[in-house]
Homo-oligomer: A and B are copies of this chain.
Amino acid sequence: MTASAVPRLDLTDDAVSLTRQLVDIESVSRNEQVIADAVETALRALPHLAVTRRGNTVVARTELGRPERVVIAGHLDTVPVNANLPARLDAATGLLHGLGTCDMKGGDAVILRLAATVTEPVHDLTFVLYDCEEIDSEFNGLRLLSESDPDLLIADFAVLMEPSNAMVEAGCQGTLRVDVRTRGERAHSARSWRGVNAIHAAADVLARLNEYVARKPVIDGLEYHEGLNAVAIRGGVAGNVIPDECVVAVNFRFAPDRSEDEALTFVREFFEGYDVTVTDSAPGALPGLDRPAAKAFIEAVGGTVNPKFGWTDVARFTTLGVPAVNYGPGDPILAHKQEEHVEVAQIERCEQQLRRWLQEEKA
């Protein structure tokens, strides 16, 4: 790619226009090079920031010698395109439509606006824009950065700008993926009674899922909501063969009062009698609302605090010892939906609140 092919991001534009610019650079997971190039180029033009690039993850830091440091982070990737590009602004409703408007280029735009304009923050700032959040954690840019350059993530507090309706969402649920496997014995389907049908055997696996009742524990005053779902099923050898294997891929979203091990124990007991293999696992994060940094942030931005249902990299910050919350524009219910959109007013409110916190809190 030639340098001239890098789209230019105009950081003097308002955050809504900047969201549109980011949305119109398609960046489905594993295809973030162009957007990362654009972000890196824009940030390197700002003299008050030190920029580091690792893969398609870009880090920009102030070095002002402030007593505390805050990370503000967002992922650059989206789920697959679903006939929802380019961005479309509906002036009548104040909604910006399109893939990533909600999850989470509105938040990314706020990050870039703050990076460009808050040159004298009360805390030192570390802006992180990273890749591969929407796919298996082995690819996650924030995870890779925490391993390659852990010093870049040292901080006293972190704000992850995942969609949360411009309100603070604390903690997050963990996620575990397993394959539940049934086995049978192949035979010609014309003499099916000579074989054992592994797909028929999966009826019981699905019946158990239908009987599942979600646990909703209250932690630090916040009600979480677990979920256990088949996200894929596959089986079959040929149109005239009784299948000898069926695999149900199950995703367990668990409240942060369970560890990964406890979540796996629950799933293994739930599917007792079946072969269960783990394909992906990430811990939840307790809300941590008792920590001073979290309290100070919540006082500054105000509003209600809600629980976070979806897994976010808040859990990763928690594991790194950095207290963290979710706070960003966009309704999380719209994430990964074809009709994804964001209220323009939420983008503006997030930028305003964060700016006030970073400029005035200790002024």
Interface residues, chain A, with chain B CB atoms under 8 Å away: 79-80, 134-136, 173, 175, 177, 186-194, 197, 199-200, 202-203, 206-207, 209-210, 214, 225, 227, 229-243, 246, 248-249, 251, 253, 280, 309-311, 332-333, 335-338
- Report yes or no: A227 in contact with B190, Cβ–Cβ below 8 A: yes
CA distance A335 to B192 in the complex (A): 12
- Report yes or no: A249 in contact with B236, Cβ–Cβ below 8 A: yes
| A233-B246, A236-B249 known; A333 vs B194 contact (CB < 8 Å) | yes
Smallest distance from the beta carbon of A118 to chain B beta carbons, Å? 31
- Report yes or no: B199 in contact with A232, Cβ–Cβ below 8 A: yes
Chain B residue nearest to A251 (CB atoms) is B189
Most buried by B among A135, A225, A231: A231
CA distance A280 to B238 in the complex (A): 13
Chain B residue nearest to A177 (CB atoms) is B239
Copies in the complex: 2
Smallest distance from the beta carbon of A263 to chain B beta carbons, Å? 14
| Chain B contacts for A210, CB-based, 8 A | 200, 203
Q: Which of B80, B191, B206, B280 contacts A206 (CB 8 A)?
A: B206
Most buried by B among A203, A235, A311, A335: A203
- Report yes or no: B310 in contact with A191, Cβ–Cβ below 8 A: yes
Smallest distance from the beta carbon of A184 to chain B beta carbons, Å? 10
| Chain B contacts for A280, CB-based, 8 A | 239
Q: Which of B227, B240, B337 contacts A193 (CB 8 A)?
A: B227
| A199-B233, A202-B233, A229-B200 known; A332 vs B188 contact (CB < 8 Å) | yes
| A188-B336, A310-B191 known; A243 vs B232 contact (CB < 8 Å) | yes
- Report yes or no: B229 in contact with A309, Cβ–Cβ below 8 A: no
| Chain B contacts for A338, CB-based, 8 A | 186
- Report yes or no: B203 in contact with A206, Cβ–Cβ below 8 A: yes
| Chain B contacts for A214, CB-based, 8 A | 193
- Report yes or no: A190 in contact with B232, Cβ–Cβ below 8 A: no
| A189-B251, A210-B203, A332-B188 known; A231 vs B225 contact (CB < 8 Å) | no
| A234-B233, A332-B188 known; A136 vs B199 contact (CB < 8 Å) | no
A-B contact pairs, 18 of them (CB 8 A): A79-B238, A173-B190, A175-B190, A186-B338, A187-B337, A189-B227, A189-B231, A191-B332, A191-B333, A197-B209, A197-B229, A199-B233, A202-B233, A203-B203, A230-B243, A233-B246, A234-B234, A241-B336
| Chain B contacts for A241, CB-based, 8 A | 79, 231, 336
- Report yes or no: B230 in contact with A240, Cβ–Cβ below 8 A: no
| A136-B239, A203-B210 known; A190 vs B233 contact (CB < 8 Å) | no
CA distance A235 to B249 in the complex (A): 10
- Report yes or no: B192 in contact with A229, Cβ–Cβ below 8 A: yes
| Chain B contacts for A227, CB-based, 8 A | 189-193
| Chain B contacts for A194, CB-based, 8 A | 333
- Report yes or no: A238 in contact with B231, Cβ–Cβ below 8 A: yes
| A134-B240, A230-B243, A239-B136 known; A199 vs B206 contact (CB < 8 Å) | yes
| Chain B contacts for A236, CB-based, 8 A | 230-234, 249
Q: Which of B207, B310, B336 contacts A186 (CB 8 A)?
A: B336
Smallest distance from the beta carbon of A174 to chain B beta carbons, Å? 10
Smallest distance from the beta carbon of A224 to chain B beta carbons, Å? 11
Chain B residue nearest to A334 (CB atoms) is B188
Chain B residue nearest to A208 (CB atoms) is B203
| A136-B239, A206-B203 known; A310 vs B190 contact (CB < 8 Å) | yes
